[in-house]
Amino acid sequence: MNWYAILAIYVLFWVICAFIVLPFGIRTPDETGEVILKGQADSAPSNFRPGTVALRATILSAVLFGLYYANYVQGWVTLDRFVSPS
């Protein structure tokens, strides 16, 4: 596997992980006791921290990509294990 493929697959893992970790730790103004501004949605987060989301996504994607790459190199789970011979 060349490094372009490795980078592309890692970026895909990172984007998916970013969407997975996005809702963790978010609190609404009702939960924090803040006043809702005129025009603000009730569900709008009051403590959104994009740096924390990026860090969590980076850690999770590194772990998942590491497992993916180890499986690619070692061949633990392959398509042949799921397809029965006819």
pLDDT at position 86 is 63
20: Cβ contacts below 8 Å, ≥ 6 apart:
57, 60
- pLDDT winner (highest mean) among 13-17, 25-29, 72-76, 81-85: 13-17
The whole-model pTM stands at 0.83
Sequence-distant (6+) residues with CB within 8 A of 69 are 1, 6
pLDDT-based confidence at 30, cuts 50/70/90?
A: confident
- The 10s digit of each residue's pLDDT in 36-61 is 889 988 888 988 999 999 999 999 99
| Mean pLDDT, rounded, for 27-37 | 89
